[in-house]
Amino acid sequence: MLPLHVMKQFIETQRSINCKGKLLALDKPLVMGILNLTPDSFYDGSFYNTKEKILQQIHKIINEGAQIIDMGAYSSRPGAKNISEKEELKRLVPALEIILKNFPDIVVSVDTFRSNIAKIVVSDFGVSMINDISGGAIDKHMFELVAKLNVPYILMHMRGNPRTMQSMTSYKDIVDELISYFAKKVHILKKTGVKDIIIDPGFGFSKVLEQNYELLNKLESFKILERPILVGISRKSMIYKYLNIKPEEALNGTSVLNTIAIQKGANILRVHDVKEAVETIKLYSKLNEISVVR
């Protein structure tokens, strides 16, 4: 791990996210609603396979209070199959056209590790954030492109790719190694010209169950990076496998762990269930409000 005084040279506190002129304040946690456009997602694969279903889900995400919609067309579940850029774009375009026509003011993030896809969705469809599960490791052009596009970048930690990541879970000290990883990447991104950087520890990516809980338990350690922290644990295996239930039954566990995440400093909750996440944040904020008054 890099020494603290070295890391402090690379980082500065970020209190808002500039999404193509629209500022998202970070004074309280934000909700990012998930729109999966894949047929094989671990939870809602093939749910949104028609324009009508996509439109209904977008309405639902917005009406329930999400500030960001994150859409992905490449399944990142462990062992997921590779698809071509053409297929990824084919899945994305109908949803992007719907949003551009009906909800032009909503902040949209696209979950992709391919710079060609990122360029098209930002330039042609007004997408205002890129969510890269590979942290720039799969496509070497991603950092420079994001800088050129001038959009916020979600920097996630993962080793390998979705097909190989669960064979790469050996760490000496997972928290120290991830903090060092992020400090180095943030430094590179800043030098490249990327202004808004969000970090995501990558729960479930190249981590076994115990490591996921260690990361959540020590999430406040990542505050040293002074960057917004995104937590994506919604209905994941760290919940349903531990409780011996199905992803469809993991909403209660998700809400519990999301509460712990915001207590420990999460700025963005990436979720399938927006209403419940919004309520979690409201209740937590009320509790904090009472504590401050007293």
Q: Is 92 helix (H, G, I), strand (E, B) or coil?
A: helix
Mean pLDDT for the stretch of residues 189-215: 97
For 104, the domain range is: 4-293
**Tokens (6 digits) for 110:** 């696209």
- CATH number at 39 reads 3.20.20.20
Kindly tell me if the per-residue pLDDT of 77 is higher than 90: no
Whether 29 shows a pLDDT value over 80: the answer reads yes
Q: Just list the catalytic residues.
A: 236, 270
The pTM for the full model equals: 0.91
Q: Say if residue 159's pLDDT is above 80.
A: yes
* Total tally of structural domains belonging to the chain: 1
Confidence (pLDDT) at 218 = 98
Per-residue pLDDT, averaged over 113-126, amounts to 97
Q: How far apart are CA 165 and CA 162, in angstroms?
A: 5
Which two three-digit tokens encode residue 131?
């969510």
Question: Per residue in 206-243, pLDDT tens?
Answer: 999 999 999 999 999 999 999 999 999 999 999 999 99
Q: Which residue has the higher pLDDT, 39 or 18?
A: 18
Helices 209-217 and 174-192: angle between axes, nearest 10 degrees:
70
230-231 sheet: strands from edge to edge? 197-200, 153-156, 129-132, 107-111, 68-72, 30-36, 268-271, 230-231
